[in-house]
Each structure stands twice: as C-alpha cells, then as structure tokens.
Structure 1
Amino acid sequence: MGTVSWPGGVEARPIDKSDTAAWAELLAAKEKVDQEGENYDADDLLEELSDPKLNAARDTIGLWSDGQMVGYGTVNTPSDVVDVHRIRTEAVTRPDWRGRGLGSALLTWVIRRAGELHAELRPDVAGEINTSAISTNTGADALLKSFGFEECRYFFHMHRPLDTPVPEVPVPDGLRLVPFDASMNETLRVIHNEVFLDHWGSVPKDPDSWRVWFTGSRAFRGGSSYLLLDGDQIVAYVLGYEYVADTEATGVRELYVGQVGTRRSHRGRGLARIVLARVMAEAAKAGYQRVSLGVDADNPTGALGLYERLGFAVVTKTITYRLPL
C-alpha cells in the first residue's frame, strides 16, 4: 500500500523491550475508555515480545510524541495453517489522540505488513487479516469497515463469581481427576492440537508457541489446572491463568480459564463439566473471587450452554473482523 504517512509531530519506530512500561501505560489509558476488561503490566508485554515467531523489528510499530507512546501496531503470524492463513493484527491509538489520523495510518501499516508476510510465508493458500474490538467500540467498527474489514466471528467474555457454591460433579468410575503435572506437558500439547482442530481460527501449536502462550506463560497456574485421565490417557482438561495486572486494576482476584478441552473419543459425556467444576471449587478454596473465560459464540461443542449451566454470565462481546489478502 505504499509508504505510510504518519501525522506531523509523531515518531514511528519498532517496539523495543525498553518500551514496555510506556506500552502498558498506553493500554491502561485505552482500557479506561474502551472497557474491554483487559489489563497489562510491563512484564506481560515483555512476554509478548519474547514470542520467537514475532520479529519485533519488522512486525511492530510504536508511535511516540514527546516521549509518550500514543499508538502502536503489531502483526502476528500463526504457527501453522489449517484452512486459511490468518494473520492477527492490532492497531491501537491512545484515546486522547483519536481523531488525528493515527488510526488510519496504523491500519495502513498493519495491512501492508500483513500482506508482505503472507506473500513471504504462505502465498500458496488463501490469506486474511483478523483483528478484534469490543462490540461497544463504535469508532473502531466504523474505521475498520471503512478499510474493507467485515465482521466474521463473535466471542463472549463470561464471569462466574465464587461467592455462591460450585456444584459438585462426581467423577465416573474408571476415570481420575489430577492436577496438572509438568511431566505431561508435551502429551497435553499434542492432545490440545487434536481437540481444537475443529475450532475456528485454531492452528496446531508447536513447542515454542505452547511454551510462550500456554503452560510456560508467567500467568499460568499449574495448581489451578486439572486433567481428567482414562487410564494414562488425558481425555479432558482445563488450564487456569492469573493476571496480576487485572487484580491490581480491578481489586478482584480472578482465575482466567484459558483452555477447556475434551477429546473427540470422549465427547458427549459431560467430562468438561467435571473438570471445570473442580477447577472452580479449588479456585474458591485458594482465595479467588471470580472465574472468567472467553467462548466463541459458535463453538461447535456447545460450550456456551455448558458455561451458563455452571453459573457463568456474559459480560462483554468481542467482534473479530476479517480482511481478505
């Protein structure tokens, strides 16, 4: 799309590890206005930059004015391709800088960079850009659609307070419910890849991606994660995470359920409910005040109904937009 023209007085350069405090401050300002329920500290953002598949020098851009980060863009490629080469992007402008052309310039940059990556990495398959915004952000919706993006998927963020009892769900004879153990990490990765093959946008996770974003994340809580075993085989699992920045911002200690999975061979038996109920009960004992999770509105396994029956309620809706490459 040619050279990007940045608004006057703005310096554009790749995001560096030394920028994470300013990046976190920008995101805190964004959260106050957009109310997406997401909070980050500098260490969270250092972890994002540690993704071995992110070339920060080429795939990130930070916009600066008088030493303050006023906007940023990132482009993330998937670790694999199942059907479509979906490239995830973010383009964020500090709220008090909106309306000055930064959003359009950032979108121009991420679209151009995503197109370059698609041409370099997977020109043999269809490609598209994906980006997301909370449904109440009408400004983002209008800007994205002006660039040709269209709505393609909807995700609900759900909360379940732990001040009411968690139902006891018995474990069937022949099955065992055990806490996560690092010795089963690689087996779990392989099973997770199998479980999520029929989930929209999911691609198999290689060991590096699994380490950075899943069981190697600083937010991962192995003691609040459980596996259901049939013999020595993992047949269902729930992985829990705790984000320190969220607790500091909200005053609520929350366990985020990042992954819930059941193997195809064992679906239809209520096994995810068993594991999730245990995770919730143990979270309450550990002092968590709330459990939260995100779910695809069109999840093929009927997960939304499962969560509602366990007392979860929708608090926000996020829209994923697509732009074909």
Structure 2
Amino acid sequence: MALRAVPVTWPEGIVARPITPGDVQAWADLLAARELVDQGGENYEAADLLEELADPHLDTEQATIGLWSGEQMVGYAKLHPRTSVVDVDRVDAEGTVHPEWRRRGVGAALMRWTIRGAGEQHAATFPDYPGEVRASAKSTHDGTIAMLRGLGFEEARYFYDMKRELDEPVRALETPDGLRLAPFDPTIDEALRVAHNEAFRDHWAALPRDPESWKTHVTGSRSFRPEVSYVVLDGDTVAAYALGYEWAADTEATGVREVYVGQVGTRREYRGRGLARAALAKVLAEGARAGYQRASLGVDADNPTGALGLYESLGFSVHSKWITFRRAL
C-alpha cells in the first residue's frame, strides 16, 4: 500500500505532536492507566521513559507522537530505530490509547500514523531490502488483534512471558572444566556485546547490537542489575551469560520484587554444555539471596535453541502469551 493511501485524521479534540522530555510524566500516567485495564505486566517511571527518549538513534520528531486532550496524554506511538538489517527491514512499533478514549477511532488513527511513519523510516534507511512494520498484542486483547487484522496485519510469531517464584531453592550447577562462572564486570562489557551478537545471529529477526544501543538498552540501562548478572568465561571469551534487570515501577505497582532476566545466550560453539543453564541458575539463586521474590523472562515460542524447555526445567511457567503481527511496507 502506498504511503499516500494511509491517511491520518485525528478525532475531534485531539492535538498530536512529537513526544518531548517534558512529556514523560504525562506519558507515565497514560501507561499506568493502560496497565490497570490491560494487565500487560509493564509499569514505568518517568525516568524510564526519559531514558528511552535519550536513545541516540531515536529521531523523536519523526518516530514519536503523543495525542493530547488538554493537559492529558490520551495516546502515543513510537517507532524503534534500527542501525542495521539482515534480511528484512523490520520496523518495530509500540503504542496505546487511554482506556477512557478507546472505541472512538483513536487507536486506528494511531496505527495509520504508525504504518505511514514506518514506511517513511524504511524508505530513508534501508530501501533496498523488503520492509515491514511490526506490532505486538497480548493474546487476550481481542480488540487490538481485530484492529491490527483490519489494517492488514498478519500473525508472524508467538512469544511467552514466563515467571518463577523464588521461594523454592535453585540448585547450583557446575560448569565444565576450564570454564568459570563469574559476576558481570564492566571490563568485559564489549566482549559480552560481541558474544550476544554471535549467540543471536541465527535467531528470528535478531539484529546485532552496536556499542551505542548496547549501552543504552542493555548494560547502560538504569534497570540493569550487575549484581544479579552472570557470565561463563573461557579465558577472556564470554561463552554464555544471563543478565538481570529490575523496574522499580513494577515493584511499586505489584508489591512484588521481581528480577527480569532480559538477556540469556550461549555462543554457538559452546552450545549443548549447559552453560546458559548454569548462568541462569546462578542469577536465580543470587536473586533470591538479594531479596527478589520472583523471576521473569520472555521467550520466542519457536526459539531454535530450545530455550523454552530450558526455562521450564528451571521452574518457569507460562504467565501470558503475546503475538507479533507484521504488515508489509
């Protein structure tokens, strides 16, 4: 569909403009209102959102939009920046509408803006590759799913949000001779980034992390917790790793302190030796000792390394299911 065939008309009373740092509290309020109704398991402080806007690759003028009714942000959308492409230029999008403003055409208008913006971003960055825009929905959110399908999106992939209570002990696992399990240290950060890119090179839609985005979203994030992050080392080589994160807003909203295992991987030449299992078991054990009550993570249902089985064997169970939708640009 040509870009000119995706018109955007905002409902009466709505003012649309790019999101600025001064908007982050209103943005956080919008997301809190969404969570009360949708129960997606995501809570944010204003500082978390300010960090998102500070991404050096994000063009906030072109890739973000906030919808306002007076002083209240009633909807938003954001396109995620990419710095490389492998096979398909996949433009990931996120957004929501305040529950009190739903069923007024706001969500459909936001998605039309998203489709148009993703097409423009694709044309400006990687036009020689096929392009698509992607959006995710919880499997129980029938209204969002129907809207996406109505706008030409199709199901592409399924993901599970998994959780494990930490009141049951986690058995420590030995690493093979010649390898050692060690806590995260900033001196290995670049080696860890390289290991991560290698570990995920054969995963669906995975892109290599450049140093800036790695710092912004992985080990430089305010949610990163090095004290519950572990690596398996072969000399100076990072063979496997499991990295822990914590969102203070989640703890405040739920009353449960949860460590989110945001990154787990094993370099391909080290697979089949239980290294990721050992690193993850260590994160769980240290998390329990540090006072975390629960652990969580996300997994691709079709992960080629059998990650789902690994997590289940360590006591994780599926908490919710999510669907990634795609639409060709």
TM > 0.5 fold call: yes
Matched, 1:95 2:95: no
Deviations 1:36-73 (A, max 9, x none): 11111101100110111111111111000021000011
Matched, 1:159 2:186: no
Offset at residue 269 of structure 1 (A): 1.1
Q: Which residue of structure 1 lines up, in the alignment, with residue 255 of structure 2?
A: 251
Offset at residue 231 of structure 1 (A): 2.1
For 1:223, which of 221, 227, 243 is the aligned residue? 227
For 1:300, which of 293, 299, 304 is the aligned residue? 304
The total of aligned residue pairs comes to 325
Q: Which runs of 4+ in 1 moved over 4 A?
A: none
Q: Which residue of structure 1 lines up, in the alignment, with residue 173 of structure 2?
A: 169
For 2:51, which of 47, 51, 71 is the aligned residue? 47
For 1:28, which of 22, 25, 32 is the aligned residue? 32
Is the contact between residue 91 and residue 110 of structure 1 (CA under 8 Å) also seen in structure 2? no
Structure 2 SS opposite 1:142: helix
Is the contact between residue 194 and residue 263 of structure 1 (CA under 8 Å) also seen in structure 2? yes
**AA of the residue aligned to 1:300:** P
> Normalising to structure 2: TM-score of the pair?
0.97
Is the contact between residue 12 and residue 63 of structure 1 (CA under 8 Å) also seen in structure 2? yes
For 1:63, which of 67, 70, 73 is the aligned residue? 67
The whole-number CA distance in structure 2 between the counterparts of 1:120 and 1:16 is 23
For 1:123, which of 113, 120, 127 is the aligned residue? 127
Unpaired stretches in structure 2, ≥5 consecutive residues: none
Deviations 1:58-115 (A, max 9, x none): 1111000021000011112322111110001123111110011101110110100110
The whole-number CA distance in structure 1 between the counterparts of 2:284 and 2:33 is 31
Is the contact between residue 167 and residue 310 of structure 1 (CA under 8 Å) also seen in structure 2? no
**AA of the residue aligned to 1:12:** A
Pairs within 5 Å for 1:1-325: 1-2=3-4, 3-325=7-329
Is the contact between residue 228 and residue 234 of structure 1 (CA under 8 Å) also seen in structure 2? yes
Offset at residue 191 of structure 1 (A): 1.3
Offset at residue 180 of structure 1 (A): 0.5
Is the contact between residue 76 and residue 89 of structure 1 (CA under 8 Å) also seen in structure 2? yes
Offset at residue 168 of structure 1 (A): 2.2
Q: What is the alpha-carbon root mean square deviation over aligned residues?
A: 0.9
The whole-number CA distance in structure 1 between the counterparts of 2:24 and 2:282 is 36
Structure 2 SS opposite 1:199: coil
The whole-number CA distance in structure 2 between the counterparts of 1:112 and 1:200 is 25
> Normalising to structure 1: TM-score of the pair?
0.98
Unpaired stretches in structure 1, ≥5 consecutive residues: none
**AA of the residue aligned to 1:26:** L
The whole-number CA distance in structure 1 between the counterparts of 2:95 and 2:232 is 39
Structure 2 SS opposite 1:223: strand
Structure 2 SS opposite 1:198: coil
**AA of the residue aligned to 2:144:** A
Structure 1 SS opposite 2:201: helix
Offset at residue 197 of structure 1 (A): 0.8
Offset at residue 227 of structure 1 (A): 0.8
The whole-number CA distance in structure 2 between the counterparts of 1:193 and 1:267 is 15
The whole-number CA distance in structure 1 between the counterparts of 2:193 and 2:178 is 23
Deviations 1:126-168 (A, max 9, x none): 1100110111100000000000000100110001100111122
The whole-number CA distance in structure 2 between the counterparts of 1:169 and 1:190 is 25
The whole-number CA distance in structure 2 between the counterparts of 1:118 and 1:232 is 38
Is the contact between residue 71 and residue 94 of structure 1 (CA under 8 Å) also seen in structure 2? yes
Greater Cα shift, 52-61 or 292-301 = 52-61
